[in-house]
Structure 1
Amino acid sequence: MRLLPIVVALGVMGATIASSGETQVPDAQINAQSLQWQKAGEAALAAGQYQAADDALETALIIDPRNRGAFVSLARVAQKQKLYGQAIRFTNKALALEPNDPVALGVQGEAMVELGAVGRAQQNLAKIKSLCGAKPCAPATSLSALIQRGPAMAKAEPPAAPKKN
């Protein structure tokens, strides 16, 4: 009777340790159907069909929630719809799976710039540059150009004030 709590604690600890490695699967082992839905979503995004892209990418994530590329593509759909906060949330989910993903960091940085968080976007740019090293890196180039341009929302004209009679 005195050993029962110890045995139960060891059993729970053993089950926890054994299950912790099951969730970490390399990108090469993402479900093939999920990748097919991701490609369909990216094709719809390229065609400007945002709802179809969103549906296909969400299906990809239902099939395999570890599909980091689907999260990044959903962030791009959100950006096209000017939903920058949602884009940041999707890239956060991708970065939770792989914190050193330069593409996800770049997309997140682009959304941050559009929201006016240029300082945080510059932090992402610095991290991307450190990940890419000396070789040219498309996410770094794209984010750097966007930071130089500045937020589009700040350049938009404010709505006209209503006229008083």
Structure 2
Amino acid sequence: MRFAPAAAALSLIVAITASVGQGAERDADPRAAMLVTEGRAALEADQPQRAIDAFEAALAIDPGYTAIFLDLAQASRAEGMQGKAIHYYREALVRDPGNLAAISGEGAALVEKGALEKARANLSKLTSMCGAGCAETRQLAAAIEAGPRQPVLTAEALLPEAQVTQAN
């Protein structure tokens, strides 16, 4: 009974040390890192499909490297596929729930889709995690302020003009 507080404290220290060691981001496989570099160069050259191909190949080589999901999401957004980008951001968040870049990127993709309320929820989460002054919070706030890139179309906006003709 008199060793219980010491044992509890020791087990707590061991648990914290183990979780910190496993939570650290590891380096990518060298082959995957080379493909990621190639994909980032393609993205900078405004070739998002080539970048997606490189990032997907890197993901096949090293599926445990979370940064690839962020790159895939960015390339998908550049290609205009915000839904796919949101999927990749959420996959990164499953692996690392505190990833500020993934939360901010998901919020920006939500803004681009026109889901401003969900994007504001991400902004609130970022503000609580790192404050109003961090870069990710400022980027998402600016994206929300700018609004969606393109107006959201409704089904009524796409209806053709009705023309009535008389059949003989």
Structure-1-length-normalised TM-score: 0.75
Q: Which residue of 2 aligns with 1:8?
A: none
Structure 1 unmatched ranges of 5 or more: 1-20
1:103 to 91, 101, 104: 101
1:38–1:69 contact (8 Å) kept in structure 2: no
1:81–1:163 CA distance, 2 compared to 1 (3 A): farther
Q: Does 1:128 find its partner at 2:126?
A: yes
- CA RMSD after TM alignment: 2.4
Q: What one-letter code is carried by the residue in structure 2 that aligns with 1:88?
A: I
Q: Which residue of 1 aligns with 2:87?
A: 89
The CA deviation at 1:142 is: 1.4
The CA deviation at 1:164 is: 4.2
1:37–1:60 contact (8 Å) kept in structure 2: yes
- Give CA-to-partner distance per residue, 1:115-147, whole Å, 9 cap, x none: 12111111111222222236x322211110111
Q: What one-letter code is carried by the residue in structure 2 that aligns with 1:132?
A: C
Q: Which residue of 2 aligns with 1:39?
A: 37
Aligned pairs, number:
142
Q: Which residue of 2 aligns with 1:55?
A: 53
Inter-partner Cα distance in structure 1 for 2:151 and 2:134 = 27
Percent identity (aligned) = 34
Q: What one-letter code is carried by the residue in structure 1 that aligns with 2:147?
A: G
Q: What one-letter code is carried by the residue in structure 1 that aligns with 2:138?
A: T
Structure 2 unmatched ranges of 5 or more: 1-18
Inter-partner Cα distance in structure 2 for 1:55 and 1:163 = 44
- List structure 1 segments (4+ residues) > 6 angstroms apart after TM superposition: none
1:57–1:132 CA distance, 2 compared to 1 (3 A): same
Q: Does 1:144 find its partner at 2:141?
A: yes
Structure-2-length-normalised TM-score: 0.74
